[in-house]
């Protein structure tokens, strides 16, 4: 949902007997470019930090705040170098030996994703993570390592390079695994892999993370993900803990090529999405023809709160992303609930027969 500023922090300073608002304004003006659309956000960040300092919380809280801000700023700075490239986060067991079929499958996955000009993000460890980076090569790899009290070595592909980020907190590392991902591929693994699988499904299902392809990759003949999906259908879907359409958020494949093509198909027409006030906007590489728009307004009305679907050009409210001005927009008042059905809509947008002839 769109960001809505909260003036609670400002009210705190106005009623605390210490007027810091003007000093915060001065500091913000000194360091933030005057034309930056983020100026109100930076002001709130300063206000939040000063409010915490006023309360003089315990040292552990202060250290958590400092480490979190420091790690996030460092990660943002490093990842800025790779922001123009789409990235795929790959999860799987660090215990997968090099002679295991899944290791070879992960290596082939890295090769396939690199060929599609996609970067491969992993936790930088061994097993599936090492295999995916090995296949992709350093130029197409990013490793998000975790620092531990005992020795934690990054795999040989990314170790010692500028493509390796180290995190102190697991929660920040997990944030960037999802934040940077234009797709997620999950290979068989242990508790951690299942944790990541359920978390990314929950984040996309609830709209806390943008809609991206979630691909379950398994070797031919294995029932690892088949058994997991059967559990979700029989124990969650049939008991109405999830919607039937939620199962559309994940796709099962049995080869690296299938995984790559699943991701490529998702971005054949769909480019990205965002909220603009009450409207949900999907950016498309190709405009839709009239017949496709008519079908949307008949068969996908359940996703709209009213008003139907409108195809429109770039507008001034998106001034913060001028590099995307050439893309056609599909705007509608999304109910923000059924993201499985939203995935079905995206699949429909990606069918070439639904594009205009000159699109």
Extract the tokens encoding 356.
Answer: 């205009």
193-197, 290-294, 312-316 — which is least confidently predicted?
312-316
Sheet of 270-276, strands arranged across = 270-276, 279-284, 328-332, 310-312
**What does the pLDDT look like over 27-43, one tens digit per residue?**
899 999 988 989 999 99
Report pLDDT digits (tens) over 231-289: 999 999 999 999 999 999 999 999 999 999 999 999 999 999 999 989 999 999 999 99
Where does the pLDDT of residue 15 fall: very low under 50, low under 70, confident under 90, or very high at 90 and above?
very low
- Would the pLDDT of 3 be above 70? no
pLDDT at 208: 94
Q: How confident is the model at residue 190 (pLDDT cuts 50, 70, 90)?
A: very high
CA atoms within 13 A on the CB side of 297: 15
Mean pLDDT of the chain: 91
Mean pLDDT (whole number) for 141-146: 96
Strand-pair partners of 251: 215
Q: Above 80 in pLDDT, residue 320?
A: no
Task: Determine the angle formed by the axes of helices 39-55 and 21-31, rounding to 10 degrees.
Answer: 130
CATH of 81-266, one of 3.50.50.60, 3.40.50.450, 3.40.50.300, 3.30.70.260: 3.40.50.450
Compute the distance between CA of residue 157 and CA of residue 135 in angstroms, rounded to an integer.
Answer: 9
Per the DSSP assignment, residues forming a β-bridge with 120 are: 88, 141
* pLDDT the model gives residue 309: 97
- Tally of CA atoms within 13 A in the half-sphere of 54 that contains its CB: 14
* Domains in the chain: boundaries: 8-56, 81-266, 270-354
Pick from 75, 199, 200: nearest CA to 143: 75
Q: What are phi and psi of 212, to 5 degrees?
A: -140, 160
d(CA 141, CA 123): 11
Query: Is-contact 75 69, C-beta < 8 A?
Result: no
| pLDDT for res 153 | 82
Asked whether 169 and 68 are in contact (CB, 8 A), the reply is yes
Check residue 20 and give its pLDDT.
Answer: 81
The pair phi, psi for residue 261, each rounded to 5°, is: -70, -35
**What are the pLDDT digits (tens) for 92-128?**
999 999 999 999 999 999 999 999 999 999 999 999 9
The phi and psi torsions of 262 (rounded to 5 degrees) equal -60, -45
How far lies 117's CA from each of 70, 91, 172, in Å? 30, 19, 26
pLDDT of residue 103: 98
Report pLDDT for 23.
85
């Amino acid at each position: 949902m769109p960001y809505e500023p909260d003036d609670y922090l400002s009210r705190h300073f106005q009623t605390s007997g210490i007027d810091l608002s003007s000093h915060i304004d001065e500091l913000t003006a000194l360091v933030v470019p005057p034309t930056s659309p983020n100026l109100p956000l930076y002001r709130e960040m300063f206000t939040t930090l000063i409010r915490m300092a006023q309360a003089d919380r315990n040292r552990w809280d202060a250290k958590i705040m400092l480490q979190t801000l420091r790690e996030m700023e460092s990660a943002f700075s490093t990842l800025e170098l790779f922001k123009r490239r789409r990235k795929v986060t790959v999860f799987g067991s660090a215990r997968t030996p090099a002679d295991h079929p899944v290791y070879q499958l992960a290596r082939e996955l890295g090769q396939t994703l690199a060929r599609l000009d996609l970067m491969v993000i992993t936790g930088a460890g061994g097993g599936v993570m090492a295999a995916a980076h090995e296949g992709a090569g350093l130029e197409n790899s990013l490793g998000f390592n975790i620092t531990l009290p005992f020795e934690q070595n990054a795999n040989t592909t990314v170790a010692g390079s500028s493509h390796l980020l180290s995190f102190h907190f697991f929660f920040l590392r997990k944030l960037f695994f999802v934040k940077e991902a234009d797709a997620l591929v999950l290979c068989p693994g242990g508790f951690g892999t299942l944790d990541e699988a359920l978390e990314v499904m929950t984040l996309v299902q609830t709209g806390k993370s943008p809609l991206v392809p979630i691909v379950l990759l398994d070797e031919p003949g294995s029932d690892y993900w088949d058994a997991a999906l059967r559990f979700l259908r029989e124990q969650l879907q049939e008991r109405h803990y999830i919607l039937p359409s939620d199962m559309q958020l994940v796709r099962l494949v049995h080869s690296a090529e299938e995984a790559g093509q699943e991701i490529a198909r998702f971005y054949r027409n769909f480019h990205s999405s965002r909220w603009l006030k009450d409207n949900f906007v999907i950016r498309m590489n190709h405009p839709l023809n009239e017949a496709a728009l008519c079908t949307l307004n008949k068969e996908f009305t359940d996703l709209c709160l009213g008003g139907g679907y409108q195809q429109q050009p770039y507008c001034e409210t998106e001034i913060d992303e001028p590099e995307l001005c050439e893309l056609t927009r599909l705007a509608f008042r999304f109910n923000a609930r059924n993201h499985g059905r939203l995935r079905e809509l995206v699949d429909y947008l990606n069918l070439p027969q639904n594009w205009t002839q000159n699109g």
